[in-house]
Structure 1
């Protein structure tokens, strides 16, 4: 399978200005994802998508490929990952390149276990999923079967059940996206206009070091974690 590795890194971060090239333990944040990419043997090509010339300069210095600059209108706070992926596919298609799937790798989730990318790709291809995402288990206290929603001034179980599951042992496992890996078939991206499709596989990263960097406290947590890697 011909799979494009895509690393999105816009320049207009407000929570942590310049975070994608900010130094974390002496390395640009981008480098952590790039190091994971270099260890992969199943990605056909890996490119950077950014609107920022300074990010391109840093990326090329560490050996990353940035074949285009992303338009500013696709680097806003409201820009979706789907829009970024479709733009990259469109640019590459104009140059005669076609891919069966895209593996989106966000630098803001920098810590990936060795071999995680290729393990995810193998599971994706063998399972013939529309997409595959990396996830972590939701602690029981926050399981959706124990979560309430407000409706007309009253609380209702978020899952729609009439009676709450009383025993922790009976709770079904629930997961949340961790942002480290999204793999999606190109046909799903373009024909269904979706990053997920209907048949979604997953790879469980629970237990590995994790942070999704968005605000300053996340950066502080990353500084703590990186000392143990």
Structure 2
């Protein structure tokens, strides 16, 4: 609870991932990938209820073993490749409508910390925002990117009168890192997205913004963890 408001945290974890087979259960640093998120979320000062949304019996059992609640099994029709990511969240809010705020924590962001989770929520309330999501600075700035026409002519991706010759002069640009999504529950039911022209940004460092979307991502994470102690 925070400022008298109740908080529901949701871990979406379907079994049919394609980029990394059974990625939510893959071992990373001696434990299933999903356990990294569960452990950090359980340390939160504000989360009242931490649940998993999954259609997969094995994932459900592993989540339970690591201390995550499973109040329902996700309908199979909400666990398809083409299912929009917001649908499992809206489904959970229908079953558990009593919470003032909802946090979406994707298991594919294992290096996000409890400090990131709580700070994103705290920022949302401090600014009386409807939503706040985590972002990270891009490593390749789009102001130095081009499209190429059929006749091989280069065109600026972002049209501007400025010509930036030094990296230090480039405008700062950020991207969603997928780690933390926070929203006021009723607003989210109406907006059906965490993103709008009202959404605030919580900036996370690049080293904690790992997003597992491929086998190479998983391999690189294991290498990273073998070099550094977490």
User: TM-score w.r.t. structure 2 length?
Assistant: 0.89
State the alpha-carbon separation in 1 of the partners of residues 20 and 7 from structure 2.
Answer: 31
- Cα offset, 1:13, TM superposition: 1.2
The equivalent of 1:222 in structure 2 is 221
Structure 1 vs Structure 2 CA RMSD: 1.8
CA contact (8 A) 1:50 1:56 kept: yes
The equivalent of 2:212 in structure 1 is 213
The equivalent of 1:171 in structure 2 is 170
The 5-angstrom pairing of residues 1-229 of structure 1 reads 1-93=5-97, 98-139=98-139, 142-150=140-148, 154-227=153-226, 228=228, 229=230
State the alpha-carbon separation in 2 of the partners of residues 209 and 199 from structure 1.
Answer: 25
CA contact (8 A) 1:137 1:173 kept: yes
State the alpha-carbon separation in 1 of the partners of residues 128 and 163 from structure 2.
Answer: 35
State the alpha-carbon separation in 1 of the partners of residues 156 and 6 from structure 2.
Answer: 43
State the alpha-carbon separation in 1 of the partners of residues 99 and 208 from structure 2.
Answer: 31
- Cα offset, 1:211, TM superposition: 2.1
Structure 2 residue ranges without an equivalent (≥5): none
State the alpha-carbon separation in 1 of the partners of residues 146 and 99 from structure 2.
Answer: 42
CA contact (8 A) 2:7 2:100 kept: yes
Number of residue pairs aligned between Structure 1 and Structure 2: 223
State the alpha-carbon separation in 2 of the partners of residues 28 and 37 from structure 1.
Answer: 15
Residues 130 and 156 of structure 1: is their aligned pair in 2 closer, same or farther, counting only changes over 3 Å? farther
CA contact (8 A) 1:188 1:197 kept: no
Structure 1 residue ranges without an equivalent (≥5): none
- Cα offset, 1:114, TM superposition: 4.5
Q: Which moves more between the two structures, 149-158 or 73-82? A: 149-158
| Secondary structure, counterpart of 1:179 in structure 2 | strand
- Cα offset, 1:92, TM superposition: 1.7
| Secondary structure, counterpart of 1:178 in structure 2 | strand
- Cα offset, 1:91, TM superposition: 1.7
| Secondary structure, counterpart of 1:46 in structure 2 | strand
User: TM-score w.r.t. structure 1 length?
Assistant: 0.89
